[in-house]
Structure 1
Amino acid sequence: MKHLPKHLRPRWRYLAVGIESWPDATIDRGSFQRQLWYAAQNLVGDVGSAAVDLTVLSFSFADGRGSAIVRVRRSEVDRARAVLASLDRVDGRDVGIRVRGVSGTVRACEEKYMGRGPKTPEKRDVVFRNAEQTAHVGPARVDVETDSAFAGATTLDI
């Protein structure tokens, strides 16, 4: 089956959503998605709900705080924000919903509004191969500047 041409594909926007509740609340992705669909159906009806096409792409919730990325059609962002504003309970638990921002791609949504972007590495002076070198230390890797290039290392190596 062939893909649709680019000008016929649906255009999407991605909403970064912050979720707050009581610390003992447990909310999962499925129940949040279900309540989101019910809220859309109650607020804008069946046809409007289908036009908005709300889908939860990523979801995390622990200790009363969480976040989600919700996909929505490009022309329906205002309706989607209204639906999210009308959502006040999930699984019988009170929730507070806040739209942190709207983006054109999932990656930009994560980086701008959810703090999942690339972290700039920290520069440190380290001892590597019995000599003092400069290292770029990131969350998952260490790159040590040698005379001619970089050497990949671990925190145990420096």
Structure 2
Amino acid sequence: MKHLPKHLRPRWRYLAVGIKAWPDTSVSRRSFQRAVWYSAGNLLGDPGSADADLSLLSFSFEDGIGEAVIQVRHGHLEEARAAVACVTSVDGDPIGVHVRGASGTVRACEERYMGRASRTTVQRDVAFEGRDRSAVVREDAVDVSTDHGYVGATRLDLE
């Protein structure tokens, strides 16, 4: 079978996406892809979701921080950005998703926007609500472990 000429081939754009969640959250590639498809279907409807054709190309998630590259059909970039921004949970666990940028090639997307996620997490004991508690510290964010789950705090909250 012959290849299509270049002017007839589908054109793509690539979104670099940053993901944040509580430190004990586990997000798999399949569940994140499902959440993106579900969000796109709810926001754009079935025809719009099929036109945008959001596909997860690369995904990594560890210790509550992750990143992904999502392939989007050319001309549907704004709809895709909106659909990705609507992802608020994966398998019932709350997550924060933000689009770092968009690019015309996977290579440019990875070089410009990927690898910026902070991988340095430190486990410490902090004073919070009058008690010593376990916490995970990432840059300026501090996730304090309480009896009811994690609470997001800053360094100023702990002083």
Identity of aligned residues (%): 64
The number of aligned residues is: 116
Q: Which ranges of structure 2 fall in alignment gaps of 5 or more residues?
A: 117-159
Counterparts of 2:4 and 2:71, CA distance in 1: 20
Partner of 1:21: 21
Counterparts of 1:53 and 1:3, CA distance in 2: 21
Partner of 1:96: 96
Residue correspondence of structure 1 range 43-122 to structure 2 within 5 A? 43-115=43-115
- Structure 1: which amino acid aligns with 2:89? R
- Structure 2: which amino acid aligns with 1:9? R
- Structure 1: which amino acid aligns with 2:17? V
- Structure possessing the higher radius of gyration over alpha carbons: 1
Counterparts of 1:32 and 1:2, CA distance in 2: 35
Secondary structure, aligned partner of 1:75: coil
Counterparts of 2:46 and 2:98, CA distance in 1: 24
Counterparts of 2:16 and 2:64, CA distance in 1: 17
Q: Where do 4+ consecutive residues of structure 1 move more than 6 Å?
A: none
- Structure 1: which amino acid aligns with 2:86? S
- Structure 2: which amino acid aligns with 1:35? A
Counterparts of 1:114 and 1:62, CA distance in 2: 15
Partner of 1:31: 31
Shift of 1:47: 0.2
Secondary structure, aligned partner of 1:39: helix
Question: Considering only aligned residues, what root-mean-square deviation do their CA atoms show, in Å?
Answer: 1.0
Secondary structure, aligned partner of 2:2: coil
Counterparts of 2:53 and 2:115, CA distance in 1: 26
Q: Which ranges of structure 1 fall in alignment gaps of 5 or more residues?
A: 117-158
Shift of 1:115: 3.4
Counterparts of 1:27 and 1:112, CA distance in 2: 24
- Structure 2: which amino acid aligns with 1:56? L
Normalised by the size of structure 1, how large is the TM-score? 0.72
Normalised by the size of structure 2, how large is the TM-score? 0.71
- Structure 2: which amino acid aligns with 1:70? I
Partner of 1:150: none
Measured against aligned partners, the alpha-carbon deviations of 1:27-66 in whole angstroms (never above 9, x if no partner) come to 0110000111111111110000000000000000000000
